[in-house]
Structure 1
Amino acid sequence: MTDCFVRVALDHPLSTLFDYRCPSDGPAPVPGTLVNVPFGRREAVGLVCEVTAHSDVPPDRLRNVTSVCCSCPPLSADWLALAAFAADYYQRGLGEVALPALPQALRDASRWDRLFAREPRYRALPAGREALPDSLPVRASALRRLAAALLAEDALFASDARALHPKAVAVLDAWCETGWVEREVVDPFAAGHSAAAPVAVTNPTALPVLTDEQTAALDAISGAHGFAPFLLHGVTGSGKTEVYLRALAHLLERRPDAQALVLVPEINLTPQFEAAFRARFASLAEGAIVTLHSGLAEGERARNWLAAHTGHARIVLGTRLAVLASLPKLAVIVVDEEHDPAYKQQEGLRYSARDLAVWRAKQLDVPVVLGSATPSLESWWLAEQGRYTRLTLSRRAVADAVLPVVKLIDLEDEHRRGRASFEGLSGPLVAAMKTRLERGEQSLVFLNRRGYAPILSCDACGWVAGCPRCSAYVVLHKPERALRCHHCGWESRIPRACPDCGNVDIAPMGRGTQRIEEALAQAVPGARVLRIDADSTRRKGSAEALFSDVHAGEVDILVGTQMIAKGHDFQRVSLVGVLNADTALFSHDFRASERLFAQLMQVSGRAGRAGLPGEVLVQTRYARHALYHALTRHDYVGFATSTLAERRDAHLPPFVYQALLRAEGRTLDAALAFLQQAAAALHDIPAAERVTAYDAVPMTIVKVMHVHRAQLLIESGSRAALQATLRAWLPALRQLKGVLRWSVEVDPLDI
């Protein structure tokens, strides 16, 4: 038997596949198999893309495959095609796409044996559930953690138990002998281990009655055959999630072995979605509903990914990284809040999960549903052109729930009338919150700026606290008594006096969520105020716990950033106050108005969802602005129509296609010089005749972590011409020197 050769993709910037020899006495890998190979002076896990009987590499330079991951079923040809498309479109190496899409545990060959070992798991028996809470010493914290995890989970795997107690397995085995716990050994990733049983929806008689519009949308989605892209445009509270649930139920009733992928934009939205799906599909086998996001522990993410890869998971719920999960029986894709910028990866492979979801649905010939109350203008334009089928939910699903009344508080008029405000909270807004407190209702205050104040300055000499590593001001975080850079993470204590002139009267300027939280406690006495932002939810599970407090009615006023603006169904919130929205009106980014309108529509939708009359108060100095008037009418269609007309006249996306070349250097001059050389290289590319290249300019935040940044924008009315230009341009860029690093981003969102 002769040797065969494999061409392997490695996590490397070059698109080259690397040839290796497979010894004849070892297992023969097939495309999609993971292998461990020598690469330079180290070993690396790679993905077999081709198997061949010949290699163009001289025999004396060929190296042998070290080991093959036989326990993991090979990735499918469809998945390899998805990775190849993403690599080609986003101008990256195939290995740069394929390997980072896998869980870290699969990219480490030393962990393969443990990952695929038959692992014991433990379940608490009724006797143990009764005895364990009172039988452990109070000071035995590790034992108590182990018992709490065992009682909280249906099953506790040994690997998870070891993270809670150093001798967890011995303790659990002892509890088994006592009769408190049962032990079983399972292989959750064995081929054929599936939950392909008919689906019975939990309590079908208790399901909400669908509106006519929901029924029409459900019929269209469930009746689709082959590739069918739907844009589900539903106002906030219109029951888009219920349409998703019913559509998935219909699918699993018809095809018990089918898989569904549901994407959400942020991690903090996954718990409530997961709870809704588990409640509705309680008849599915254990492990048939899994989540995939970066907040999971490595072991849990690997198990969930493998459950999807082996077909055991029927419903996969995740953030943008889940779009690259292996799902061999994928039959429908849902992208909730499809407009959200969080679907665009901003480092490494800068892909759009929404766009890849549509491409994947077309590749597999299955339906894809893009849902939003404020669709992206790209999706809206495609629906206008008839390339997407638009489904509309124009009213709220709850019978007595209507859209909230949106009112503008003109801050200029308040000032002219001599009406005082308190720390940025206008009199009408404070009065409205006091009224809700008296009624026992909840209020929500939205400010998309965390920290206490964005600036700390000295009135005497004009000093402003800045980051020594970035061209940005540091943010004051009063509870932590720290100044923190939100770009690089640099932190220092708050100075007692101005470092330039010694003035002790340094003061914060502007307001963040911490300062508003402090002000609300004084402006609305007796109110229970809760802040939810990136600072208050750093610990794992903290966001879920805080939102539970809100839903339980233990909070009177919720203040927060965009984390609270979308997806959450707050039953008791009847008032929403919006602070400091005007800053986005004057941004240099042409997408700023689109994002602001979507943000305000989303946060407005948190009010009045359960039949309570809802009111939204937006504080602004520009009450006559067209964006705010469209907001008061809940007129997304009018806003989208006028904004698309402006984009067409200005030759901006979606009417042109763009790519951005970024360069980072030790000096700004070095970064700009690199980009100027790159622009000159375009003249030698025939396809570039249909491409416009703009001047190289510094980025908005020029310096981050002592690295200077600049960018060069190119665009074309033809996607094909832009892609052809990029393919020919990249080899020339690799020959240029003088910068620390550079990257190309296709379809950039932040310019």
Structure 2
Amino acid sequence: MTHPVCLTVAVATPTHSALSTPLSYASAQDWPPGQLLRVPLGARDVLGVVWDHPGGAAPDPGERSLRAVVEVWDALPPLDAHWRALVAFAARYYQRSVGEMALAALPPAMRTLNQEQLARRLAKLAPKAPAPRRRTAKASQATASETALATAEGSPAAPGHGADQPLAAREVPPALTLQQREVLQALSTQPGTFLLHGNTGSGKTEVYMQAAAQALAQNAHAQVLVLVPEINLTPQLQARFERRFGADAVVAMHSALTPAKRLSAWLRAHLGQARIVLGTRMAVFASLPGLALIVVDEEHDPSYKQQEGARYSARDLAVWRGHHAGVRVLLGSATPSLESWWASRPASPAAVDDGTSPAAGRAGRYTRLHMPDRIGSDTASAALLVRRVDMNHQPRGAVLAPPLLDAIGTRAARGEQSLLLLNRRGYSPVLSCSECGWKSTCPHCSAYRVFHKGDRSLRCHHCGLASPVPHACPDCGNPDIQGLGRGTEQLQEQVQALLSDMRRPDGSALRIARLDADTTRLKGTLTAQLDQVHAGEVDVLIGTQMIAKGHDFRRVSLVAAVQPDAALFASDFRAPERLFALLMQAAGRAGRDAGFAQQPEMWVQTHQPAHPLYAALKTLDYAAFADGQLTEREQAGLPPFVHQALLRADARTQEAAQGFLLAAVEALRDAAMQQPQLAPLLDAVYLYPAVPLTVQRVAQVERAQLLLESTSRQALQRLMHAWQPLLHRTRADKAHKALIRWLFDVDPLGI
């Protein structure tokens, strides 16, 4: 008689719950690690993953019996060891449960499927034999052309895109510049992680595609992962990859897809049918059995850091995944993150090691590559001119400086386009009453509701609460309530009036459009608006940071930042880095086609024209700015020279949130007195006092945090791991029943 075996199964249980480790289930037969199956959990059947386990017989009849596996999805190959290692590392490093991390990495639609439904999905993905057709002279000529093209690319022509076929290019690649060839040569001859510091317009995307082609040509089963920071950058990049490699070879993974499409993309990647996976941060967990190359575009972007649930950094996990799998990782940006810039520092033999810096003189763990020149920058007209406009010397209340208005009109008359950057959407950030001081605060959050004039609403951008604009002040009845500050909606209205007398080359009025999260909410609107810009149907485009990232606007010759000063005085030490990156990225939209720009320009309207950040922007010298910022951070003891984590608490009241954090610290210190191994960790990690978050209440939930900081990443990790059981016990105390949840945020981007 065959005895059942005990399987260790990872299921979705959060770290702050009592069930934070894989669970045991009885199975009629042993299944390999990585096998997907359904198991009972409470009153439900849930999706699970067989986790690495030694296997063994079920407990004796005298012991509590194990619940049995419901069904096994044996039609799917198991998730491989590299994928499980990635999930296990992410769970360990970001202080989450393995099951929570593993199941969050799978498509949501997969959690509701049963075995029969999965079989139908797989049947739709099964390759179909091509129908026989008559061979014409035209078809023969096309086949010969494909063969010649594939041969030119260094790989044989392939009739299809299956995993057992080499991938042939569909579009003839352009001639490469010298710096592109040098970068590709370095990629093909050296292992490891590379930071490609390429100025906007230098051809980084072409390098990505050529590197992908090289990786795919070396192995018929190879796959490439390309990460982009935001959903709105996915369609245009996907279109470029599809033109080059064919639509069947490329799949996209991001949250804007329907559940069915996300599931289909994941299955095609897992089965090896998709050769190129292009997606946002979630795609870093894609199951790619043939992974050969990872590309992270705009690697500096904070969107790669998940801000809800398991707070992982997709960029950092991509680097770890590439190192563990032994594949190259290419990080690309015109304004790299300071962490990556520091990690790619060259060796400095002349540096004096005084013992105060453990990395003095040593090279970083990444290889830094440079592409400083724009394609076509051999012409004198291609040099970007940065102008600082001192708004202290402009007419009071001026929206745009008169010289900037003239420059926009001159360029529009030549058929060129201008971009106006204002990183704040809505009409006004707040409505206010001048009589009694009432402001449009959100009743559920410690934030203001933003005035949107288009639909006459007040909207909270934190909890989503929306309500009609009152006809008078709710407190005193004053009918004269006014907006404070300016958003993109108001800027569009004001610019429309300021440019009303200016004309296009055909004599018609200028066409002004706005691109932000409000104008692109409906499906297809983003693509439609971008198509209008590319077609030259827009003369002035106003938008938030959405317009500054990755778009190839060929007709844009002037970019202006309208109100960038606020970030100069933010309490977040990363604010200067983010502002400089945003302005550099925005500047890169100008002059991408010399045929549309005799002299591309970047205008910055500021009340602080002498600020060092703007001085560095004037010369477009990212290296000087980054080195200066790193010097300041080293002196101040800030990342990347120290390592940080936040212990967050969400509760019904601020007192309850901070009370839990204080009790957790006391529990840790008490444990250190009883467990000698904890004392050195407490000495190596500094615990700051508990404080409210900047926006301390969101959707009626109060939020508090406690900062942990250490020069030793290992000590910080060990302390958090040792703290976990103490946090569970503190959470179970009746004194903290008002607590909703607690979590660790490792390597936080905002404090």
Deviation at 1:209, TM superposition (A): 2.6
* 605, 625, 648: which one aligns with 1:619: 605
Unaligned runs of 5+ in 1: 126-191
Question: 1:560 is matched with which residue?
Answer: 543
In the alignment, which residue of structure 2 is the partner of 1:538? 521
Structure 1 residues 381 and 712 mapped into 2: Cα distance closer, same or farther (>3 Å)? same
Q: Distance in 2 between matches of 1:669 and 1:98?
A: 34
Paired with 1:727 and 1:368, the residues of 2 have a C-alpha distance of 29
Match for residue 497 of structure 1?
472
- Structure 1 residues 56, 541: CA separation in 2 closer, same or farther (over 3 Å shift)? farther
Q: Which residue of 1 aligns with 2:586?
A: 603
1:253 CA drift (Å)? 2.0
Amino acid at match of 1:262: V
CA contact (8 A) 2:161 2:167 kept: no
Question: Aligned partner of 1:11: which letter?
Answer: A
Task: Give yes or no for contact 2:198–2:371 (8 Å, CA) kept in 1.
Answer: yes
Report the CA distance between 1:195 and its aligned residue: 3.8
Distance in 2, Cα, partners of 1:106 & 1:521:
49
CA–CA distance in 2 between the matches of 1:673 and 1:120? 56
Deviation at 1:473, TM superposition (A): 0.8
Q: Cα deviation per residue 1:470-494 (whole Å; 9 max; x = unaligned)?
A: 1111100000110000000111100
Q: Secondary structure at the match of 2:617?
A: helix
Question: How do 1:621-660 residues align onto structure 2 when only pairs under 5 Å count?
Answer: 621-660=607-646
Shift, 1:64, TM fit: 0.7
- Aligned residue for 1:492, secondary structure, equals strand
Structure 2 residue aligned with 1:45: 47
What's the secondary structure of 2:248's corresponding residue?
coil
Hey, what's the Cα distance between the residues in 2 that align with 1:636 and 1:705? 39
> Counterparts of 1:301-450 in structure 2 under 5 Å?
301-384=262-345, 385-399=363-377, 400=379, 402-414=382-394, 419=395, 421-422=397-398, 424-450=399-425
| Contact kept? 2:343, 2:364, Cα under 8 Å | yes
Q: C-alpha distance in 2, partners of 1:56/1:733?
A: 31
1:109 aligns with 2:118: no
Residue 444 of structure 2: aligned partner: 469
Residue 529 (str. 1) matches residue 512 (str. 2) = yes
SS in 1 for 2:109: helix
Could you say what secondary structure the match of 1:453 adopts? coil
The unaligned stretches of length 5 or more in structure 2 are 132-159, 346-362, 501-508, 673-677
Q: Say whether residues 1:272 and 2:236 are aligned partners.
A: yes
The amino acid that maps onto 1:344 is K
Counterpart position of 2:194: 230
Pairing partner for 2:457 from 482, 499, 505:
482
2:221 aligns with: 257
Name the residue aligned to 1:15. 20
Aligned to 2:356: none
Change (3 A) 1:61 1:109: farther
From the superposition, tell whether residues 374 and 724 of structure 1 become closer, same or farther in structure 2 (CA, over 3 Å): same
Deviation at residue 113 of structure 1 after TM alignment:
4.0
Please report how far the alpha carbon of residue 60 of structure 1 lies from its aligned counterpart in structure 2 after TM superposition.
Answer: 3.5
Deviation, structure 1 residue 56 = 5.9
Is residue 19–residue 55 contact of structure 1 (8 Å, CA) maintained in 2? no
2:714 to 698, 703, 720: 720
Give the partner amino acid of 2:168: A
Q: Is the 8 A contact 1:105 1:112 kept in 2?
A: no
Structure 2 distance, partners of 1:498, 1:421, is 25
Give the Cα–Cα distance (whole angstroms) in 2 for the partners of residues 331 and 56 of structure 1: 43
Q: For 2:31 and 2:387, how far apart are their aligned partners in 1?
A: 65
**Distance in 2 (alpha carbons) for counterparts of 1:733 and 1:555:** 56
Relative distance call for 1:403 and 1:665 in structure 2 (3 A) is farther
- Deviation string, structure 1 residues 359-413 (Cα, Å, up to 9, x no partner): 0000011110000000000000011133111110111012447342111110112
CA contact (8 A) 1:31 1:51 kept: no
Given that 2:161 and 2:248 are in contact with CA atoms closer than 8 Å, whether structure 1 keeps it comes out as no
TM-score, with length taken from structure 1: 0.87
Paired amino acid for 1:20: Y
Displacement after TM superposition at 1:577 (Å):
1.0
Kept in 2: contact 1:331–1:366 (CA 8 A): yes
Q: After TM superposition, list the pairs within 5 Å mapping 1:110-125 onto structure 2.
A: 110=114, 111-118=117-124
Give the Cα–Cα distance (whole angstroms) in 2 for the partners of residues 390 and 55 of structure 1.
54
- 2:204 matched to 1:200? no
CA distance in 1, matches of 2:58, 2:335: 53
1:76 — aligned with what? 80
Deviations 1:42-100 (A, max 9, x none): 11111111361235696533111011112221100111111101000001100010001
1:421, distance to aligned residue in structure 2 (A): 4.9
**Cα distance in 2 for residues equivalent to 1:198 and 1:223:** 22
SS in 1 for 2:709: strand
Change beyond 3 A, Cα 1:109–1:60? farther
Cα deviation code 1:101-141 (max 9, x no counterpart): 10122212334344334579999x9xxxxxxxxxxxxxxxx
- Cα deviation for residue 559 of structure 1 reads 0.6
- For the residue of structure 2 that corresponds to 1:116, the secondary structure is helix
Cα separation, 2, equivalents of 1:429 and 1:681 = 60
Give the counterpart letter for 1:412 in structure 2: N
Partner Cα distance (1:109, 1:309) in 2? 17
Q: How many residues align?
A: 669
Letter in structure 2 aligned against 1:287: D
CA distance change for structure 1 residues 287 and 59 in 2, over 3 Å: closer, same or farther?
Answer: farther
- Structure 1: how far apart are the matches of 2:303 and 2:265? 22
What residue number does 1:667 align with? 653
**Secondary structure, counterpart of 2:726 in structure 1:** helix
**Residue 517 (structure 1) shift:** 1.0
Deviations 1:659-700 (A, max 9, x none): 101111111111111111122233223322200001111110
Distance 2:126 2:225 in 1: 29
Task: Name the structure 1 match of 2:569.
Answer: 586
Alpha-carbon deviation of 1:212? Answer: 1.7
SS at match of 2:64: helix
Superposed CA deviations along residues 556-582 of structure 1, whole A, max 9, x for unmatched, are 111111111110010000011111100
- Give 3-state SS (helix, strand or coil) of 2:650's partner: strand
CA distance in structure 1 between the aligned counterparts of 2:319 and 2:126, rounded to whole angstroms: 40
Distance 1:469 1:578 in 2: 33
* Cα deviation, residue 727, structure 1: 0.3
Aligned residues of 1:580 and 1:619 also touching (Cα < 8 A): yes
Q: Is the Cα contact below 8 Å between 2:229 and 2:297 reproduced in 1?
A: yes
Answer whether contact 2:13 2:99 (CA < 8 A) is retained.
yes
- Which secondary structure does the structure 2 equivalent of 1:731 belong to? helix
Q: Report the secondary structure of 2:104's partner residue.
A: coil
2:558 corresponds to = 575
Task: Supply the AA of the counterpart residue of 1:394.
Answer: P
Quote the Cα distance in structure 1 between the aligned partners of 2:560 and 2:58. 66
Distance change in 2, residues 1:377/1:434 (3 Å): same
3-state DSSP of counterpart to 1:576:
strand
Distance 2:118 2:73 in 1: 7
Change (3 A) 1:652 1:631: same
- In structure 2, relative to structure 1, the CA distance for the partners of 1:257 and 1:113 (3 Å cut) is closer
Larger displacement relative to structure 2 (536-545 or 583-592): 536-545
d(CA) in 1 for partners of 2:259, 2:170? 32
RMSD over aligned CA atoms reads 1.9
Q: Quick one: distance in 2 between partners of 1:121 and 1:721?
A: 51
8 Å CA contact 1:688–1:725 kept in 2: the answer is: yes
TM-score normalized by structure 2? 0.87
SS in 1 for 2:169: coil
Percent identity over the alignment? 52
- Per-residue CA distance 1:553-607 (angstroms, 9 max, x = gap): 1111111111111100100000111111000011110000000000000001100
